[in-house]
Structure 1
Amino acid sequence: MLDIFAPIAAACDISVPPGEGLPVAVVGAGAIVDVAHLPSYRSAGVEVRGLFDLDAERAREVAARHGVPTVYPTLDALLADPEVRIVDIAVAPAAQPEIARRALEAGKHLLCQKPFVPDEATGRELIELADRLGLKIAVNQQLRYDEGIAAARAMVEAGWIGEPTAMTFTVNIATDWSPWPWLVRNDRLEIMYHSIHYLDAVRSVLGDPETVFCAGGRTPGQLAAGETRTISTLVFPGNARALVHATHENRTGDPEALVRIDGSKGAIRGTLGLLYDYPHGRPDTLEVNSRSLPTDGWLPYPVTRRWIPDAFAGPMASLMRAVSGGGEPYPSARDNLGTIRLVDRLYASMDAGHSMPVE
């Protein structure tokens, strides 16, 4: 690796520091736990003590595949295990808040999935409960830890492209929604369950916008009830703007998943490799063109890890550091309320047909 990239690579570290590992139990044994959570935790050295799923046969199968020693017969049994310090909740979003309440009341720190909550009021309630009990909640917005996104953010923070002025995600793919029947029936789809990743990544680089506009639509003949094509624009204080353009009904077999950040002294561009062959994917690509360093044209950054499964270790490692050493995990539930608020305002704009302030 070029020496110039050493601090960027260090900023992308998602390892669990020695001595900070804490026993984890997982609620849910669905596909994402099977292909992302458990493989990433194993690679990062996270101790997964056990898991629970309403489908006991599925739970036993997944546990055996990943060497998880315990399958709990009930959620109560999991929460009663005194060795478990952290509960990773990986269930359908509607079920998450009640499980989170029960886990907090049992004295467990939490890693919750996105969307963290259906509304801000529920989020504030859970955060207040955690604060009262001295517990931590992290949210698994793991795109922040995808190596390409994490490296791009580190380059921006290092001043390599000067003042950031624009951030763009362009995603044009075909998504099979059928594995998630509850999602197929949902009238809120693309922003809440997919572009929330990109919107959260934008917030991690540019902060919170002042005003947003969103237009959404469907494609004739699509399976899903909700919107599958969206264009979201975000206006930030000062000069920065963002665009997230996502389409899930690409029927021509030429997927693209692009990210670009422009600034006053250069730009960063790359691809989200996962979306070119989901769920297997490939490593991201990333290049920087900087008058600040300077570079000689576009300089490639050597991305070696993948969004799935590698990035899933990031939020868990951050939560463990926060539990062991104090401070807030990244992203914390409190921070993630900004993403929930942004999603809410984008849907309000979609429904109203005009821009909305983000209060």
Structure 2
Amino acid sequence: MIDVFAPIAAAADLTVPAEHRLPVAVVGAGAIVDVAHLPAYRRAGLEVTGLYDLDPARAAEVAARHGVPRTYASLAELLADDRVAVVDIAVSPGAQPGIARQALEAGRHVLCQKPFAPDVATGEELVALAEAGGLKIAVNQQLRFDEGIAAARAMVRAGWIGEPTAMTFSVNILTDWSAWDWLLTTDRLEIVYHSIHYLDAIRSVLGDPELVFCTGSRTPGQLAKGETRTMSTLVYPGDVRALVHVTHENRTGDQEAAFRVDGTLGAVKGTLGLLYDYPHGRPDTLEVNSRVLPTDGWLPYPVTTRWLPDAVAGPMGSLLRAVAEGGEPETSGRDNLGTLRLLEALYASMDSGESRRL
């Protein structure tokens, strides 16, 4: 039975072919670059030409730790380096659009972080700027490339569970938002900075919904200003539905981070190990129950990589493939406009108490 997993594993493979690899420069030397971007790029065999950060000492420290050969004194110096083909932007969301514009105007391909832009209009502007210059722009929505999610999506596309009928994420964890001090004071929090991962992953399996409803709330005594508990319902044509139920105020220690895709002939379910002991995490799990194969009950799939750092190589690898072969990255800026529209609709629903049609 293990042999049937070979095409599924191939669909979840994060290998970046040698002929696709181009030099990458990174803007930002924060924790996510330190623990995820640089380790993932090193494992993928990518060349990082250098780092730039507003804090030169931090940039030098991170560069030294990961064997990055240089740091740049300014963004202009980075963009003047003729060897740089791709700029990976890993900064706070407010600073990202301006840096992306400068990189695109300098003729560089760009990988942005999520959220791609503060609003759809800004995202559309960046996409248009990239297309006008014949450049590729992608978004680091790396949960799509997590092995458990990617394998589940491949099983759905292979028809193993028949026609999909529902997809759910249930996450009940305790998050210390003080690790990102700027998040403590933002009005919008959970949907745009966390559930965006799950929403984008759902889009990668089911596509865009027609109608959404969302409710969000806080809990007494929480430090963060914005919402930390949300329930988002996505309605698709016919009887297909999706649900994202998340709380970050679990004070009893029984962490949960699970997902499931149901279909007419089976189901796929798994866990996101990273969230059980963030940022250290534990291995993901994935199981499939299929009347198509058949599996005779639940059959475990052997997940071998993790969301962080491994899946971070996915968006970059997809971007590099698009540069080398043409076409669009899987998480292209244009595709991610759909995720931004979904976020806007969910917040409009949260504010009004009414469903919103996309």
Give me the TM-score of the superposition, normalised by structure 1: 0.99
Partner of 1:190: 190
Partner of 1:55: 55
Per-residue Cα deviation, 1:149-177 (whole angstroms, up to 9, x for no partner): 00000000000000000000000000000
Give me the identity figure in percent: 75
Partner of 1:35: 35
- 2: distance between equivalents of 1:129 and 1:72? 25
- 1: distance between equivalents of 2:292 and 2:313? 32
Instruction: Tell me by how many angstroms 1:139 deviates.
Output: 0.5
Matched ranges for 1:168-247 at <5 A: 168-247=168-247
Instruction: Tell me by how many angstroms 1:180 deviates.
Output: 1.1
- 2: distance between equivalents of 1:238 and 1:333? 29
Partner of 2:343: 343
- 1: distance between equivalents of 2:308 and 2:65? 17
- 2: distance between equivalents of 1:17 and 1:24? 15
Q: Which residue identity does 2:55 align to in structure 1?
A: D
Instruction: Tell me by how many angstroms 1:239 deviates.
Output: 2.0
Partner of 1:283: 283
Instruction: Tell me by how many angstroms 1:14 deviates.
Output: 1.2
Partner of 2:354: 354
Q: Which residue identity does 1:19 align to in structure 2?
A: E
What is the number of equivalent residue pairs in this alignment? 358
Q: Which residue identity does 1:9 align to in structure 2?
A: A
Per-residue Cα deviation, 1:243-281 (whole angstroms, up to 9, x for no partner): 000000000011000101100000011100000011111
Q: Which residue identity does 1:253 align to in structure 2?
A: G
For the residue of structure 2 that corresponds to 1:45, the secondary structure is: coil
- 2: distance between equivalents of 1:81 and 1:138? 21
For the residue of structure 2 that corresponds to 1:19, the secondary structure is: helix
Instruction: Tell me by how many angstroms 1:223 deviates.
Output: 0.5
Partner of 2:80: 80
Q: Which residue identity does 2:260 align to in structure 1?
A: R
Partner of 2:5: 5
Partner of 2:326: 326
Per-residue Cα deviation, 1:115-156 (whole angstroms, up to 9, x for no partner): 000111101111111111100001000000000000000000
For the residue of structure 2 that corresponds to 1:269, the secondary structure is: strand
Q: Which residue identity does 1:114 align to in structure 2?
A: K
- 1: distance between equivalents of 2:356 and 2:105? 37
For the residue of structure 2 that corresponds to 1:234, the secondary structure is: strand
2:128 matches 1:128: yes
For the residue of structure 1 that corresponds to 2:314, the secondary structure is: helix
Partner of 1:314: 314
- 2: distance between equivalents of 1:329 and 1:17? 15
Q: Which residue identity does 2:211 align to in structure 1?
A: T
Query: Structure 1: any 5+ residue segments left out of the alignment?
Result: none
Q: Which runs of at least 4 in structure 1 moved beyond 6 Å after TM superposition?
A: none
Q: Which residue identity does 2:62 align to in structure 1?
A: V
2:305 matches 1:305: yes
Partner of 2:26: 26
- 1: distance between equivalents of 2:267 and 2:126? 39
- 2: distance between equivalents of 1:181 and 1:345? 27
Instruction: Tell me by how many angstroms 1:325 deviates.
Output: 1.1
Give me the TM-score of the superposition, normalised by structure 2: 0.99
